Amino acid sequence: MRELNQEFTTKLTRWFRENQRDLPWRKDKEPYHVWVSEIMLQQTRVEAVREYYLRFMKELPTVSDLAAADEETLLKLWQGLGYYNRIRNMHKAAETVVGELCGEFPETFEGIRGLCGIGDYTAGAIGSICFDLRVPAVDGNVLRVMSRILEDGSDIKAAGTKKQIGSVLQELYPESNCGDFTQGLIELGALICVPNGQPKCDMCPVAEFCKAREHGTQMQYPVKSEKKPRKVVQKAVFVLRCVDEEGVERYAVRKRPKSGLLAGLYEFPNVDVERELTLDEAIAVAEDWDCVPMHLTRSSEFKHIFTHVEWDMKGYYLDVHEMPARFKWVTDEEMEAEVPLPSAFGYFL
């Protein structure tokens, strides 16, 4: 088996240049572009990020635009991506870049890493892609690729594993075009050394360096410790509809508390329950909110999975007579354009 050396780096970067996907954030090396895309890519699939990224750049084309944006605009642009604190942190970091650094993104690893919400991975990605720094960016893709290449059985969730793999990679960084090496590793993980199913070793540009391929153990890596089971919370969710004096349908939403899960986003009114509510019980809840329910039009059930908790939700669609001021009453158009409603409640639309 060949030891990892500069030939590994050369083969991987060459393969990346010839085979990389055409992605909107790869059109230039503008740190704002790479930063926004990297944060989005931590949340969801590349294909889903495309749309979010293009919309975000259309709305907020520069770091100054991000710094000047208000929270609800940002939450709306982030709607559906989850981990909403990430966009709040980006906003703070943009304020720092504009307010303290004259709009210039820092160009050292430490400078980038010092911005709010930027950890080792993101700083490594921005540093290597935008500023040609010899710094690794180790995400889940890279951990998978490297654990196979090295046949490294360390738990990829353990704190030291990322650092250990990072220090192996650090030595392999080229003198220039560092971003191609960073993205080559990521791209290899996405296209060849895939997470689900057999990796496509026949097409791998660095197969000759891979211990797992030599021993046929690819599927045994990466090693991941068992997760704790998620807490399950049962919820009764109310889609309260009222027709206003002008005959326009409005729906009740409310803002969630400032801290905790989905902080500051909007939701349909809901309560945690021990067991499914009877119809009478559901109506009593709406009455407690002074809504004067007329009738239930339908009900539906959805499950939403967060990192540490699962919501099992039953939705009650109630037509009501009053629009108590405890809720915000919005039209379909307002919901679509202005209300940051997280995916967990989007099922009920």
Rank residues 148 and 250 by Cβ distance to ligand ADE and give the closer one: 148
* 123 binds ligand ADE per the rule CB under 6 A: no
SS3 of the chain: helix, strand, coil, percent, to 5? 45, 15, 40
The pair of three-digit structure tokens given for residue 119, joined into one six-digit string? 């950890």
Residue nearest to ligand ADE (CB): 41
Site for ligand ADE (CB under 6 A): which residue of 4, 46, 57, 233?
Answer: 46
Count of other CB atoms within 10 angstroms of residue 86? 17
Active-site option among 3, 30, 38, 171: 38
Nearest distance, CB of residue 18 and ligand ADE, angstroms: 16
* 38 binds ligand ADE per the rule CB under 6 A: yes
Nearest distance, CB of residue 142 and ligand ADE, angstroms: 9
The pair of three-digit structure tokens given for residue 160, joined into one six-digit string? 């030291």
* 183 binds ligand ADE per the rule CB under 6 A: yes
Rank residues 81 and 318 by Cβ distance to ligand ADE and give the closer one: 81
User: CA-to-CA distance for 91 and 70, rounded, in angstroms?
Assistant: 9
* 177 binds ligand ADE per the rule CB under 6 A: no
51 is catalytic: no
The pair of three-digit structure tokens given for residue 144, joined into one six-digit string? 């998978």
Size of the site for ligand ADE (CB under 6 A): 8
Question: Who's near 301: CB < 8 A, 6+ residues apart?
Answer: 312, 313, 314, 315
User: CA-to-CA distance for 83 and 306, rounded, in angstroms?
Assistant: 10
Rank residues 13 and 183 by Cβ distance to ligand ADE and give the closer one: 183
* 146 binds ligand ADE per the rule CB under 6 A: no
User: CA-to-CA distance for 195 and 40, rounded, in angstroms?
Assistant: 19
* 79 binds ligand ADE per the rule CB under 6 A: no
Nearest distance, CB of residue 321 and ligand ADE, angstroms: 50
The pair of three-digit structure tokens given for residue 155, joined into one six-digit string? 């738990």
Task: Tell how strand 270-272 and strand 266-267 pair up.
Answer: unpaired
User: CA-to-CA distance for 40 and 53, rounded, in angstroms?
Assistant: 8
Rank residues 147 and 183 by Cβ distance to ligand ADE and give the closer one: 183
Angle at 329 between CA 326 and CA 334, to 5 degrees: 140
Stretch that binds ligand ADE, among 85-93, 167-175, 183-191, 251-259 (CB under 6 A): 183-191
* 36 binds ligand ADE per the rule CB under 6 A: no
Q: Which residues bind ligand ADE (CB under 6 A)?
A: 23, 38, 41, 46, 139, 183, 186, 190
Which positions are annotated as active-site residues?
38
